[in-house]
Amino acid sequence: MENIKVIFWGLGAMGGGMAKDILLNKKGIEIVGAIGQNPAKIGKDLGEVLGIGRQIGVIVSNKPREVLNHTAADIVLHATQSFTKDVFPEISLIVESGKNVITIAEEMSAPWAETPDLAEHMDNLAKKHQVTILGTGVNPGFVLDTLILTLTGACQAVNKIWAARINDLSPFGPTVMKTQGVGTTVEEFNKGLSDGTIVGHIGFRQSAYLIAKSLGWELDHIAETREPIMTTVYRETPHVKVQPGMVAGCRHIARGYKDGVEIITLEHPQQIHPELEGVKTGDYISIEGTPSIKFSDEQEIPGGIGTMAAAVNMIPRVINARAGLLTMPDLPVITALMGDVRQLIADGKKRCLTI
């Protein structure tokens, strides 16, 4: 049986990491194309760019249309930007080339939440070209939606969902420090919120949409709040120094209301060195219902690895899936891929390989 053929679009930390994982660890998948934009990578062999110590015969190109239209592949792994409106032209190009696509653009985990018109358009386009589009990642896509929904599977009734993903931003670079407002004063933080330079978490509306839609809840509205996490102690990373009284991170909360009642609460406070003020990181899920269920882990599922894993692990599910713009709850249970992935491609299911 032929290998599953993948094209990568986006070779940053996420795209590059996924490509490396496939080259080094996955059986039955091969990379047949690579699209990047970093001049330092264009024209080089992908194996060299990824530093895996060997060439793989795939040259990194900055010409998406050329690669997509002249390379036979089953699926494209897309990792460029976060917002649907920004990736929409790229997704369309992939679909029009007759290939399935998995993107880690946060808003694409449920495009109906923010851009129903674009979602509708992509769904029709995917059906027309008989391919599947999926947006996924660790969050949105897994922890605060798919995992919560799976746990409700053991419930006869669900009255309220509260979940929190408490993580440590210390390992991240200067960009994340800026977008989360780490190291700012309250005034700078609030200014950043208003001018859009401080964004907090991207994906809350998508997670709430997936939860409500899947359970069959009609939400009145979703409200988001972003508050500065003030520190009372000195916190420091290689990229930022935070004095007591300054902002160590952003407490971002989303609340979904049904018939005026807060029925979904998703919290994602992100800061550096939470342990310095006794805050334990982790993923916490509390479902109030019949029965009530409280699950938590000892340490949050790491965002970077989790996102790369979720996207790669969905490859066989998406290749097998019906055509259209789908979401994680539409597809079979996500699992790690430890065997030959070709074994998971159902006989007679659509493969693309369109040139």
Binding residues for a second copy, rule: CB under 8 A, are: 21, 25, 138, 142-143, 146-147, 149-158, 214-218, 289-291, 293-299, 301-302, 305-306, 308-310, 312-313, 328-341, 343-344
Nearer Cβ to a second copy, position 131 or 147? Answer: 147
Nearer Cβ to a second copy, position 126 or 248? Answer: 126
We find the least distance from the C-beta atom of residue 341 to a second copy, in angstroms, to be 8
Quickly tell me which residue has 């342990």 as its tokens: 275
We find the least distance from the C-beta atom of residue 305 to a second copy, in angstroms, to be 5
Q: Which residues pair with residue 63 across a beta bridge?
A: none
Nearer Cβ to a second copy, position 171 or 329? Answer: 329
Nearer Cβ to a second copy, position 49 or 143? Answer: 143
We find the least distance from the C-beta atom of residue 340 to a second copy, in angstroms, to be 7
Nearer Cβ to a second copy, position 21 or 96? Answer: 21
We find the least distance from the C-beta atom of residue 306 to a second copy, in angstroms, to be 4
We find the least distance from the C-beta atom of residue 143 to a second copy, in angstroms, to be 8
Q: Which residues pair with residue 271 across a beta bridge?
A: 168, 249
Do 343 and 52 contact (CB within 8 A), yes or no?
no
We find the least distance from the C-beta atom of residue 37 to a second copy, in angstroms, to be 25
In terms of Cβ atoms closer than 10 Å to its own Cβ (0-12, 13-18, 19+), residue 348 is exposed
Tokens of 343: 């074994």
We find the least distance from the C-beta atom of residue 13 to a second copy, in angstroms, to be 14
Do 58 and 301 contact (CB within 8 A), yes or no?
no
Nearer Cβ to a second copy, position 40 or 336? Answer: 336
We find the least distance from the C-beta atom of residue 244 to a second copy, in angstroms, to be 33
Q: Which residues pair with residue 230 across a beta bridge?
A: 247
Nearer Cβ to a second copy, position 66 or 297? Answer: 297
Which residues, in sequence order, are CB contacts of 236 under 8 Å at separation 6+?
A: 242, 272, 273
CA distance 82 to 85: 9
Nearer Cβ to a second copy, position 98 or 289? Answer: 289
For Cα atoms 93, 98, 103, give the angle at the middle one, nearest 5 degrees: 55
Closest CA to 185 of 255, 251, 243: 243
Nearer Cβ to a second copy, position 171 or 306? Answer: 306
Q: Which residues pair with residue 167 across a beta bridge?
A: 270
Do 114 and 107 contact (CB within 8 A), yes or no?
yes
3-state secondary structure 190-253: HHHHHHCCCCCCCCHHHHHHHHHHHHCCCCCEEEEEEEEEECCCCEEECCEEECCCCEEEEEEE
Residue 345 is classified by DSSP as S
Nearer Cβ to a second copy, position 63 or 128? Answer: 128
Closest CA to 268 of 331, 207, 351, 345: 207
Do 331 and 314 contact (CB within 8 A), yes or no?
yes
Quickly tell me which residue has 């530093």 as its tokens: 51
Tokens of 201: 């978490």
We find the least distance from the C-beta atom of residue 21 to a second copy, in angstroms, to be 5
We find the least distance from the C-beta atom of residue 59 to a second copy, in angstroms, to be 26
